[in-house]
Amino acid sequence: MGKKLGGKRRKNKLTDLEKDILSILKSHVGDENKLTQYEITGIIYPSDNEYFDDSKCRQIRLAIVNLIEQGYPIISTPSNGGGYFWQYKPEEGLDCAKRIRRQAIKLFLKARKIRANSRTGQLDLDIRF
């Protein structure tokens, strides 16, 4: 089994990208020190002038999601331009979890409404040739 971290066992070996992200975020503790995905991408790919490249930013986001799922205390926030940071206070993690839970509930309710609409025929297309 992997090492225990944050109440969860890590199973996967970290990629070089994940190691780089951890190194960066561990020095950005607390909400006031957050970095955007573009800033993280720019730090990891400094010689690439086009660090706003969507594919590289997507790689960063996916790696961060994987790190969070492995139990690392990385927090995301939409406030003041959004970004990621290393958790400093338990409240930061709880606030993030509450926000994500609210988003999940809204998505669930939206999916339920779409499903109900499709049953009542409201989504039927009336196409005539």
Task: Kindly list the domain boundaries of the chain, sorted by start residue.
Answer: 4-88, 89-123
Its CATH architecture, for the domain 4-88, is: Orthogonal Bundle (1.10)
47-70 residue pLDDT tens? 765 556 778 889 999 999 999 999
Whether pTM > 0.95 for this model: the answer is no
Q: Hey, how many other C-beta atoms are within 10 angstroms of the C-beta on 53?
A: 14
> What gap in Å lies between CA 61 and CA 57, rounded to an integer?
6
Nearest to 64 by CA among 38, 90, 32: 38
8-53 residue pLDDT tens? 555 679 999 999 999 999 999 998 999 999 899 989 988 765 556 7
Contact criterion met (CB below 8 Å) for 50 and 104: no
> What gap in Å lies between CA 18 and CA 48, rounded to an integer?
19
